[in-house]
Amino acid sequence: MATIADIAQAAGVSKSTVSRSFTRPDSVNAETRERVLVVAEQLGYTAVPAKAETTGTIALFIPDIANPYYPPLVKAVQAACQRQSLSLLVIDGEDDPEADAEELERIIGRVDGALVFAPRLDAERLRALDAVAPVVLINHVAEGLPSVVLSAPEGARQAVEHLAALGHRAVGYLASREDNYSSRVRLAAAEEAADHLGVTLRVLTHAEPTYTAGVRGGDLVLAEPVTAVIAHNDLMAFGCMNRLIDRGMTVGKDISVIGFDDIWLASASRPTLTTVSTPYERGGAVALRMLTERIGDPDRPVSTVHLSGDLVVRNSTGPAPAQLD
The whole-angstrom separation of Cα 134 and Cα 111 is 9
pLDDT in tens, 217-227: 999 999 999 99
Do residue 105 and residue 240 come from a single domain? no
Residue range 156-168: average pLDDT?
97
What whole-number distance in Å separates Cα of residue 266 and Cα of residue 235?
9
Give residue 324's pLDDT band: very low, low, confident or very high (50, 70, 90): very low
**Three-state DSSP state, 318:** coil
Quick one: which of 196, 197, 176 has its CA closest to 187? 176
Q: For residue 233, which of 210, 256, 206 has the smallest C-alpha distance?
A: 210
Q: Which residues contact residue 55 at a Cβ distance below 8 angstroms, ignoring those fewer than 6 apart?
A: 87, 110, 111, 112
Residue 192 CB-half CA count within 13 A: 12
Instruction: Decide if pLDDT at 72 tops 80.
Output: yes
Secondary structure of residue 24 in the 3-state scheme: coil
Can you list the alpha helix ranges (DSSP code H) found in 47-180?
70-83, 97-107, 123-130, 153-165
Q: What's the rounded mean pLDDT across residues 48-62? A: 77
Q: CATH number of the domain that 84 lies in?
A: 3.40.50.2300
In a domain, residue 210? The reply is yes
Lowest pLDDT segment from 91-95, 234-238, 288-292: 91-95
Residue 195 lies in a domain: yes
**170, 144: one domain:** no
Mean pLDDT computed over every residue of the chain: 90
Q: What percent of the chain has pLDDT over 70?
A: 94
Do 117 and 134 lie in one domain? The reply is yes
**199 plus 249 within the same structural domain:** yes
Q: Evaluate whether residue 204 is within a structural domain.
A: yes
Does residue 294 lie in a domain region? Answer: yes
Neighbours of 323 (CB within 10 A): 7
* Separation of alpha carbons 199 and 191, rounded Å: 9
One domain, residues 173 and 129: no
| Same domain? 189 vs 252 | yes
Residues 274, 217, single domain; the answer is yes
Q: What is the CATH number of the domain that holds 26?
A: 1.10.260
Say whether pLDDT at 318 is over 60: yes
Asked if 180 and 318 sit in the same domain, the reply is: yes
Residue 235 has what pLDDT?
96
By CB atoms closer than 10 A (0-12, 13-18, 19+), residue 187 is: buried
| Pair (270, 174) in one structural domain | yes
The per-residue pLDDT for range 95-114, each reduced to its tens digit, is 778 888 888 988 998 999 99
Report the number of distinct structural domains present in the chain.
3
Do 165 and 247 sit in the same domain of this protein? yes
- Distance of alpha carbon 276 from alpha carbon 316, whole angstroms: 13
Do residue 115 and residue 201 come from a single domain? no
Q: Determine the structural domain holding residue 251 and report its residue range.
A: 153-278+311-324
Question: Is 51 domain-assigned?
Answer: no
Stated pTM of the model: 0.81
The verdict on residue 25 lying in a domain is yes
Q: Are residues 244 and 200 in the same domain?
A: yes
